[in-house]
């Protein structure tokens, strides 16, 4: 089989993901306006509000960033009064990130615009197709994320690279 006939050349997964992620970042960043750290800050705040992350390291793993980057990110979110660092009584090495009322309000006000921007990203797809795509993406990404979490638990952070 010649390379030109190969499926990955005609249906390039990396290219599709890259194009869509770029479109997502451009549109959602514009929709967010002044939001600190743009889409990353938004996703961090949303993940904290969703719960399940009892340390900065856990949150960093979820977002796929290094713990050193997480420090700067939380610094800036805290400086804007959107989150607070609370020491975890169960393990005083950890800091629990909690969303302030101001952070919650900002997230709420941004929410509708973000959803609209996301729909623009998938503008070529009909509503049922969008739902199917989001569901499949979520399923594939969640499994991958779990893999990474397991690796992270085993050796180092499992991040970066």
Residues of the shown chain interacting with its own copies in the complex, contacts defined by CB under 8 A: 1-4, 6-26, 28, 39, 43, 46-47, 49-50, 62-64, 104, 107-108, 111, 114-115, 118, 121-125, 129, 132-145, 148, 161
Interface with DNA, residue 160, by CB under 7 A: yes
* C-alpha–C-alpha distance, residues 113 and 28, integer Å: 8
Sign of CA dihedral 103, 109, 111, 117: negative
* C-alpha–C-alpha distance, residues 92 and 78, integer Å: 19
What would you report as the CA-atom Rg of the chain, rounded to the nearest whole angstrom? 18
Of the ranges 44-52, 71-79, 106-114, 140-148, which one interacts with DNA (CB under 7 A)? 71-79
Of the ranges 111-119, 123-131, 133-141, 153-161, which one interacts with DNA (CB under 7 A)? 153-161
Backbone angles phi, psi at 83, to 5 degrees: -140, 170
Contact residues for DNA (CB under 7 A)?
55-58, 60, 65-72, 74-75, 85, 91-95, 159-161
């Amino acid at each position: 089989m010649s390379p030109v006939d190969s499926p990955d050349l005609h249906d390039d997964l990396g290219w599709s993901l890259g194009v869509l992620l770029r479109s997502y970042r451009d549109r959602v960043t514009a929709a967010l306006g002044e939001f600190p750290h743009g889409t990353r800050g938004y996703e961090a705040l949303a993940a904290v509000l969703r719960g399940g992350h009892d340390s900065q390291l856990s949150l960093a793993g979820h977002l796929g960033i290094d713990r050193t980057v997480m420090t700067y990110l939380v610094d800036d979110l805290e400086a804007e009064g959107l989150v607070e660092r609370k020491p975890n009584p169960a393990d005083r090495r950890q800091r629990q990130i909690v969303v302030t009322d101001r952070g919650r309000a900002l997230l709420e006000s941004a929410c509708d615009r973000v959803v609209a921007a996301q729909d623009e990203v998938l503008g070529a797809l009909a509503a049922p197709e969008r739902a199917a795509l989001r569901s499949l993406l979520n399923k594939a990404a969640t499994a991958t994320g779990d893999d990474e979490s397991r690796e992270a638990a085993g050796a180092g952070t499992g991040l970066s690279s």
